[in-house]
Structure 1
Amino acid sequence: MRRLRRLLVPALLACLLPLGLAGCQQALSLTATDLTASVKPASEASVEMADATVAYDFALDLLRESTAEAPSKNALVSPLSVLHALAMAENGADGETLAQMERTTGMSVEELTDTLQAHLQLSSSYDGPLSLANSVWLRDSGGLSVENAFLEACGGRLGAQVFSAPFDDSTVADVNAWISEKTHEMIPEMLSQLSDQTQLLLVNALAFEGSWEEPFDSALVTPDTFTCEDGTEQDVDMMHSTESSYFESDLATGFAKPYEDHDYRFVGLLPNKGVTVAELLESLDGEGLEQLLIPVENTVARIGLPKFTSSYDVELSGVLRSLGMTDAFDAGAADFSRMGSSDAGPLFIGGVLHKTFIDVDEEGTRAAAATVTTMDGAAAPIEEEPEVKEVVLDRPFVYLIVDAHTMTPIFTGTLMSAE
């Protein structure tokens, strides 16, 4: 697999993660039965975090495939949320099913679980704007048998709550309430119904509420025009500031604007004139994006960032299949024997639902993501005057919210339309 960074991470007790991230000790009232107390905590261990290029590769693949069918529409995905949901599924997968999933994420199941476990611990130390939670929901019909090792991996290492539920309308309401709370009500509804075939739900929810280190001056917010790739013009409110990180490549320029305490940052990448967003994304791989995000020395960016709000939802089965993860969705080929078994038949992934939301204004950013995997049965200082470069996002652009310490991409998106 890829290069790894070794980090020492203490035991992550199920539902007692020191995350500043929503855990079990919540007043949320659910009809489902919380089984987390029966999940054994992970023992203290040295774990390794994957190199940033691995996460960038997956983030770019996910964004490219998500935008492929509707390239003129806004898109926003959370690679971190999807990886958490896939990690839970991978801990129950085996054989060629697991091998395909590992190739898709670019990491072995152990490397992926280690990386996410390490990031959970590191992000908790920031006491910052990111909150993240995982949960596993089990059908209580009696026909489902789940392996203890699978629950211990999800609960002990990834901090997942484990619930037993009837998978009726009350469970739909419970899952939606759980996601709504964990996303700070930015995603109030995720599910409308559950299939009779669905035996397990693997759920991730995250919320990001970050204030800018230096808020935009409202006096410098000006009316401007956003020009779409088809030439359509839209009115926007453009926020202006000067930032110390300026990026440049043959195809794009960009900037980074830090959130409070500099633990996270917003990255804007503007394709050069004559270059489409799709062409920019196609030109990048993880290593290329990592190189692009190295600031140009002795250069600052005079930026323009439009105020915008965007929401997005996608069923990721087709995206993940196109990335090589095919057997997991095939009732006849999927091998989730390490997860458990069901009287309804062998377990396979019935769907991967993903929803996101973002709001960017003068004060900061509010963003959220939720991913639900349904498991079915039956199948340095500047010493001279810096050069100033202008990066005004007044036409379609790519953006990211990244962990400034590990460069983990929390969100990746495209703004093709400001309306």
Structure 2
Amino acid sequence: MKYRNRLKAVLSVALLCGALAACGMDPAQTPSESIQQPSVSEYTDDLIDAQTAFTLNLLREATKENPGENVLLSPYSAMQSLAMTANGASGNTLSEMTQVLGLPPDQLNEALCAQRIAMPDSRACKFSLANALWVNAHAGALRDAFQQTNETFYNAKITVAPFSQSTVKDINKWCKKQTDGMIPEILTDQSTDHPAMHLLNAIAFDGEWDEKFAEEPQAYSFWAYDGSEQVAMMMCGTEKYYLSDEKATGFLKYYKDGKYAFAAIKPNNDVLPDAYLENLTAAELHSLLVNITEPRSVTIGLPKFRWESSNDLIPLLKNMGMNAAFDPDAADFSMMTENQEQLWISDVLQKAVIEVDTNGTKAVAVTKTSVESSLYDENTGVFLNRPFIYMIVETENMTPVFAGVINTMFDAHY
């Protein structure tokens, strides 16, 4: 509970000092009657639970969809994009999105806004987040409540433009800028679809290790998902923060300032990550991350790796219970635009890149939700020499920002 109590204190100070500006409102403006000024959320604990469950469910479905392959996701980015979209949903579509995201939009909007303000960002450990909506000029006007909610709580920049190749270039330019050039595009120049809108989130993380690895990486064997022996350039050292329960062991390696950490989880008894995730509960995952064993000397081996991914999230979200939103005949996004044409989600694409080396970690992600219209101990050690799960977590309440699985070093080591 100490993590959650400390988080509430941080959120209280952050909201009192900067809620209007950070949530996209001019301090001189008066919030409209329909959109309340963000305040300290009563649902902080619920948000932590919702984000942990969403992370676990998304990661579990991704390992099922891609057995034996490496996985890289940003559940944090996906939730931002989908939460903005949910503000235009109604009926069964809204019910399913609420069930998958873990909170109804009114609670989720306020809680995510408060959390975004409180997310640490410093020179040594940089974190940035941006939201944007590109609306097709032929799609009709946005409903006032939908537009104001996304501007107020998500600081979303809204651009109305004809969806031409020029707009594709503008969206990709935004994507490249927000990810420090690591993701140069989210749309291809050959894109011929003309959806009603794109709802985008981009996040970027760049953190230096609090204690850098003293030695250069050495070649070690890595036993891949299929049992084959591969080569991993292993960064070896000692850490103080050991993770352990009946199912797995792991460690936290902190970045400078101590506000973020790399969490590594290695299932016990040669259990593979997908089997481990299948039986893991959100409560067990959160407990493993927060119940750190007293500081001790932990020998670690962490492969140096780089991985990039492009994930269609729709199959994963369907398996999690979100179906109506993707069905042109069943979707209800009647709270999104003034037009009466049928709207549905045609694409949820996420691109992500992570680099882990002796200096630290860089990780970026962009999530694009496209809405289509009918109109248009001293001996203790955790040596990651077989498949493992990893996350980048914000350490105040262990919110997962990135999550992934390394099943093979083929094309991953660098």
Normalised to the residue count of structure 2, the TM-score between the two structures is 0.88
Question: Residue deviations 1:129-163, cap 9 Å, x none?
Answer: 1111000111112x412111111111111111111
2:141 aligns with 145
- For residue 103 of structure 1, the aligned residue among 86, 99, 104 is 99
The structure 1 residue matched to 2:262, chosen from 261, 266, 270, is 266
List aligned pairs for 1:9-88, cutoff 5 A: 9-10=15-16, 12-13=19-20, 17=22, 43-47=37-41, 48-49=43-44, 50-88=46-84
SS for the counterpart of 2:40 is: strand
Relative distance call for 1:389 and 1:352 in structure 2 (3 A) is: same
Is 1:287 paired with 2:283?
yes
CA distance in structure 2 between the partners assigned to 1:169 and 1:300 by the alignment: 56
Separation in structure 1 between the aligned mates of residue 104 and residue 335 of structure 2, nearest angstrom: 15
Aligned pair 1:409/2:400, yes or no?
yes
Alignment check: 8 A CA contact 1:138 1:200 kept: yes
SS of corresponding position for 2:159 = strand
What is the match of residue 157 of structure 1?
A: 153
Taking only aligned residues, the RMSD between alpha carbons, in angstroms, comes to: 2.4
Q: Which residue identity does 2:132 align to in structure 1?
A: S
**By how many angstroms is 1:250 displaced?**
2.2
Q: Distance in 2 between matches of 1:342 and 1:234?
A: 56
| Equivalent residues, number | 389
Q: 2:89 is matched with which residue?
A: 93
Q: CA deviation at 1:367?
A: 0.6
- CA apart distance, 1:12: 4.2
User: Which deviates the most, 91-100 or 297-306?
Assistant: 297-306
Quick one: structure 1 residues 195 and 342, their matched pair in 2 at CA, closer, same or farther if it must change by over 3 Å?
farther
> 2 CA distance for matches of 1:407 and 1:211?
18
Residue 386 (structure 2) aligns with? 395
The equivalent of 1:213 in structure 2 is 210
Matched-pair identity in %: 37
Cross-structure match for 2:201: 204
Provide the rounded CA distance (Å) in 2 between the counterparts of 1:230 and 1:194: 37
The 8 Å contact of residues 47 and 111 in structure 2, kept in 1 or not, is answered as: no
Distance 1:397 1:111 in 2: 34
Please state how far the C-alpha of 1:42 moved relative to its aligned partner: 6.3
Give the ranges of 4+ consecutive aligned residues of structure 1 lying more than 6 Å apart after TM superposition.
39-42
Question: What's the offset of the Cα at 1:43?
Answer: 2.4
- The structure 2 residue matched to 1:134, chosen from 106, 131, 135, is 131
Cross-structure match for 1:340: 337
Larger helix proportion of the pair: 2
Cα shift at 1:123? 1.2
Look up the match of 2:165: 169
Shift in alpha-carbon separation, 1:335–1:51, aligned structure 2, 3 A:
closer
Other-structure match for 1:248: 244
Shift of 1:336: 1.0
Extract unaligned runs of 5+ from structure 2.
none
More divergent stretch after superposition (117-126 vs 392-401): 117-126
Tell me the CA shift for residue 124 of structure 1.
5.0
Contact 1:242–1:300, Cα closer than 8 Å, also in 2: yes
Contact 2:39 2:110 in 1 (8 A): no
Alpha-carbon distance change, 125 to 131 in structure 1, aligned in 2, over 3 angstroms: closer
TM-score with structure 1 setting the length: 0.87
Asked if residue 321 in structure 1 is aligned to residue 306 in structure 2, the reply is no
Deviation of 1:75 (Å):
0.4
Distance (whole Å) between structure 1 residues aligned to residue 96 and residue 225 of structure 2: 36
Q: Does 1:296 align with 2:293?
A: yes
State the alpha-carbon separation in 1 of the partners of residues 295 and 305 from structure 2. 30
Pair 1:371–1:131, CA change in 2 (3 A): same
Residue identity matched to 2:386: R
Give 1:187 shift. 0.6
Cα distance in 1 for residues equivalent to 2:334 and 2:249: 48
The aligned amino acid for 1:334 is A
Give, as a single letter, the amino acid of the residue that structure 2 aligns with 1:371. T
Higher strand share: 1
2: CA distance between counterparts of 1:341 and 1:238?
A: 56
Separation (CA, whole Å) in 2 of partners of 1:261 and 1:216: 17
The CA deviation at 1:335 is: 1.2
**Matched residue, 1:278:** 274
Given candidates 352, 355, 370, the residue that maps to 1:374 is 370
User: What is the letter of the counterpart of residue 400 of structure 1?
Assistant: M
